Each structure stands twice: as C-alpha cells, then as structure tokens.
Amino acid sequence: MMWTVVYIAPNRPIAEMLKGLLEGGGILPMLRPIGAPHLGDSASVEILVPESEVEEANEIIAASFG
C-alpha cells in the first residue's frame, strides 16, 4: 500500500485530533513524527493516508480548519 502525506501537524495533539477526525470518516491514518525526537509532543507530525483515500482525507482536513 502506498501512503501519502496529507498534512503536517505542528504538534502531536493536533495530529491526534486530525487522526480522530479521519478515523471518524472511515479513513485509516498513520502518524509519523518528524524532526528531533527530544521535542516530544511539540515536534511536527506527518499525517499519512493510503493513496486511494487522499482526496477524501483532504476534504475532511479542509472542513475541520474551514
């Protein structure tokens, strides 16, 4: 399965919130921290979804920040 980054959250709490929204929409998201591990929850986090769900994921993310 090909995974695609649909959003880079500035921190873990925002990434977790978006993960929940995506899961609620029937999408399987994967979180991948980027940057320095010692930053913990304040490090940026990539949100990836299966390539086939990118468009739907983008709509959910856009709606949540509308």
What pLDDT sits at residue 15? Answer: 97
Number of domains in the chain: 1
Q: What tokens appear for 35 in the block?
A: 């940057």
Residue listed under structure tokens 């930053």? 39
Q: What is the pLDDT of residues 11-24, one digit of tens each?
A: 999 999 999 999 99
Task: Name the strand (E) or helix (H) holding 63.
Answer: helix 54-64
What pLDDT sits at residue 14? Answer: 96
Query: Using an 8 Å Cβ cutoff, are 56 and 6 in contact?
Result: no
Q: Enter the pTM of the model.
A: 0.90
Mean pLDDT of 19-39: 93
- CATH number for position 41: 3.30.70
Backbone angles phi, psi at 16, to 5 degrees: -65, -40
Domain coverage including residue 42: 3-64
